[in-house]
Amino acid sequence: MGMNGILRTLVCSTVVLSATAAWSIEFHGRSSTQLQWFNNYFDNKKQVEIGQYLSASITKIDDAGKFTIEGYGRMTQDIRNDEGFQGRVYYLYANYRDLFNMVDVRLGRQYVNYSAGSALIDGAKIDVKNIGPVALSVMGGRNITYNLYNESTHAGDYAVGVSAYLYNMKDTDLEISWYHKLVKDDVAQDILGASFKQYLFNQLKLYGNTRYDLASEVFGELLAGVSYFPLDNLIFTAEWYQSYPMFDATSIYSVFAVNRYQEGVIKADYRINKMFSVNAGYTRQDYEEGASDVFEVGVGIRPLDTLRMNLNYDYISGYDGKRNGANVDVEYEALKDLKVAAGFQYNVDKYDALTGEVIGRSYWGGATYQLNKTMSMNARIENNVNSFYKEDWRGRVAFNIDF
């Protein structure tokens, strides 16, 4: 079913239900009218866009409150290059939960995320629960993809998946899933995945994720980590991560040789008191052809309830040269309804093959103003200076209405 069919089905269902229901349907959401300007890196053109973003939910359609409709989309117009209207529907689905106290059903355009893979589909997702400690989920539909300007889905593009996960387990999360993707009716991805999280003794969290590509018979991703929080204001984290790039079997890139990447991370976050917090970390990056060491330190300062500052510094040395950089972020609540923020980032890259340094800088500032309970405005402007651009101005101004 295409989006036109889904739209007709959802709208007609809502009209029929609202005409026959004795209760009051509620309609909530946000309208955001935005003006954006930026450099399009694909064609190196300056763009100025006017956009309308709309998210909405319809609830209390039935007396039990089990049936809801959710939607989010946008419409934009580049007023500088006259490219015409561009529209996208990110999701639009009907959701019915606790059917027979066992089944949740979601129908329409929706984003589905399993440990084995994720997709934006025009289709259905069904969860079966309350059948024991393990719940089941199945999804399938037309796989939606976008190019730079519009939807680029072809006939024969589909995604299906199955997931089994622990249900209502207080300190344990475990999911095992399978994800299968078709491009023009040819198998593009066939992946098994799993995710795990375990809390122990109120001070320890163990977690991990993995994806195994059945087609190429390799582990595309492996993650294992542990977090230890001996105090409410102190967290230690250690992680090991490995990835092996996986391309669709239908892509030309699938025939190219790729390198495995892995990294080990150790970091600590400590909130000293209400005013100060510090963080530090070390990462060892392994690219098979070489390795790099990454050191990071940072401090958060809140001298006033209305003023917050973050300062961070990182240093990288190894396989791809030497880099170091710093950034500063400041947020200030000038008035009860007005917040202003600004930031500065400074990076210095020094490569072994070069004699000089490449310096990159970015400056940004922004503000949010709450006009009343339902209306707000926010703005952000940023300039990037680097080896590619002497000036790269971009910005956004938005007027939001909550209803």
What is the per-residue pLDDT across 130-183, written as a single tens digit (0 to 9) for each?
999 999 999 999 999 988 777 888 899 999 999 999 998 889 999 999 999 999
332 Cβ partners below 8 Å, 6+ apart? 306, 307, 308, 339, 340, 341
Distance CA 124, CA 109 (A): 8
Number of separate domains in the chain: 1
pLDDT digits (tens, 9 = 90+) for 179-214: 999 999 999 899 999 999 999 998 999 999 999 999
140 Cβ partners below 8 Å, 6+ apart? 121, 123, 124, 158, 159, 160, 161
Question: Which residues of the chain register pLDDT less than 50?
Answer: 1-2, 5-22, 352
Q: Is 391 part of any domain?
A: yes
Q: Is 9 part of any domain?
A: no
Look at phi and psi of residue 20 and say left if phi exceeds 0, alpha if psi is from -120 to 50, else beta.
alpha
Give Cα separations from 183 to 187, 253, 325 (angstroms): 6, 15, 42
Q: Is 77 part of any domain?
A: no
Residue 349 has what pLDDT?
64
Domain region containing 305: 259-403
Residue 360 has what pLDDT?
81
**Burial class of residue 224 in the structure, from the number of CB atoms within 10 Å of its CB (0-12 exposed, 13-18 middle, 19+ buried):** middle
Assign residue 353 the CATH number of its domain.
2.40.160.10
Residue 42 has what pLDDT?
73
Q: Is 215 part of any domain?
A: no
Distance CA 294, CA 296 (A): 7
Residue 385 has what pLDDT?
82
Please state whether the predicted TM-score (pTM) of the whole model is above 0.95. Answer: no
Residue 255 has what pLDDT?
64
**Considering Cα of 17, then 19, then 23, then 24, what sign does the dihedral take?**
positive
Q: Is 20 part of any domain?
A: no
312 Cβ partners below 8 Å, 6+ apart? 296, 297, 298, 326, 327
Q: Is 397 part of any domain?
A: yes
Q: Is 359 part of any domain?
A: yes
Strand partners of residue 369: 338, 377
Q: Is 328 part of any domain?
A: yes
Residue 298 has what pLDDT?
97
Residue 10 has what pLDDT?
43
Residue 56 has what pLDDT?
96
